[in-house]
Amino acid sequence: MDHRLKKFFEPRSVAIIGASSTPHKPGNDVILNILANGFQGDVYLVNPKGGQILGKKVYASPSELRAGIDLGIIILPASANPGVIRECGARGIEALILVAGGFAEAGEAGAGLQEETIRAVRETGVRVLGPNTSGLISMPHNFTSSFFPLGRIPGGNISYVAQTGNFATHTMRYIMSAENFGVCRVAGLGNKVDVDESEILEYLGEDEQTHAVLMYLESLKRPRRFLDVARSVSRAKPLFLLKGGSTAKGADAASTHTASLASDDGIIAGALKQAGVVRLWKYTDLVLVARGMAAMPLPRGRNVGILAPSGAMLVCLTDLCERRLGLRVPDLEEGSRARLQDMSPSFIRMRNPVDIWPAASVHGVENAYREGMEIVLDDETIHAVLCVLMLTDETGVPPLDFLVELAARYCEKPIYVTCSGQKKHMVAAKAFLEPRGVPTFWFAEEALEVLSLLAECREVLER
Q: Is the pLDDT of residue 431 over 50?
A: yes
Higher pLDDT, 376 or 246: 376
Query: Stretch 398-419: mean pLDDT, rounded?
Result: 97
Average pLDDT, the chain: 95
**Whole-angstrom distance, CA of residue 74 vs CA of residue 120:** 14
| CB 358, CB 389: distance < 8 Å | no
**What domains appear along the chain, each with residue ranges and CATH number?**
3-292 (3.40.50.261), 297-462 (3.40.50.261)
pLDDT of residue 261: 46
pLDDT of residue 315: 97
Residue type, 447: A
Query: Stretch 119-125: mean pLDDT, rounded?
Result: 97
**Whole-angstrom distance, CA of residue 148 vs CA of residue 170:** 7
User: What are the residues facing 71 on neighbouring strands?
Assistant: 14, 95
Residue type, 248: A
pLDDT of residue 256: 53
Q: Is the pLDDT of residue 262 over 80?
A: no
Percent of the chain scored above 70 by pLDDT? 96
Q: Is the pLDDT of residue 257 over 70?
A: no
pLDDT of residue 42: 98
Query: Stretch 31-43: mean pLDDT, rounded?
Result: 98
Query: Stretch 368-382: mean pLDDT, rounded?
Result: 98
Task: Considering only CA atoms, give the Rg of the chain.
Answer: 25
Instruction: Give the tens place of pLDDT for each residue, 182-197.
Output: 999 999 999 999 999 9
Instruction: Give the tens place of pLDDT for each residue, 5-21.
Output: 999 999 999 999 999 99
Instruction: Give the tens place of pLDDT for each residue, 128-162.
Output: 999 999 999 999 999 999 999 999 999 999 999 99
Higher pLDDT, 353 or 269: 353
Query: Stretch 376-382: mean pLDDT, rounded?
Result: 98
pLDDT of residue 247: 63
pLDDT of residue 125: 97
Q: Which of helix, strand or coil describes residue 274?
A: helix
The two beta strands, 415-421 and 384-391, are: parallel
**Whole-angstrom distance, CA of residue 106 vs CA of residue 113:** 10
Residue 2: pLDDT band (50, 70, 90) is confident
Q: Is the pLDDT of residue 231 over 50?
A: yes
| CB 392, CB 422: distance < 8 Å | yes
Instruction: Give the tens place of pLDDT for each residue, 52-110.
Output: 999 999 999 999 999 999 999 999 999 999 999 999 999 999 999 999 999 988 888 89
Task: Please tell me what DSSP assigns to residue 303.
Answer: B
The two beta strands, 56-59 and 52-53, are: antiparallel
Residue type, 65: L
Residue 259: pLDDT band (50, 70, 90) is low
pLDDT of residue 4: 86
pLDDT of residue 263: 60
Q: Is the pLDDT of residue 227 over 80?
A: yes
| CB 191, CB 114: distance < 8 Å | yes
Q: What is the dihedral of CA 201, 205, 208, 210, to 10 degrees?
A: 50
Question: Which strand (E) or helix (H) includes residue 28?
Answer: helix 26-36
Name the least confident of 62-66, 243-247, 248-252, 374-378: 248-252
**Whole-angstrom distance, CA of residue 261 vs CA of residue 246:** 11
Residue 3: pLDDT band (50, 70, 90) is confident
pLDDT of residue 248: 59
Instruction: Give the tens place of pLDDT for each residue, 165-223.
Output: 899 999 999 999 999 999 999 999 999 999 999 999 999 999 999 999 999 999 999 99
Residue 353 preceded by cis peptide, ω within 30: yes
**Whole-angstrom distance, CA of residue 70 vs CA of residue 281:** 37
Q: Could you tell me which residues come within 8 angstroms of residue 294 by beta carbon, excluding any fewer than 6 positions away?
A: 156, 157, 158, 180, 181, 182, 439
Q: Which of helix, strand or coil describes residue 437?
A: coil
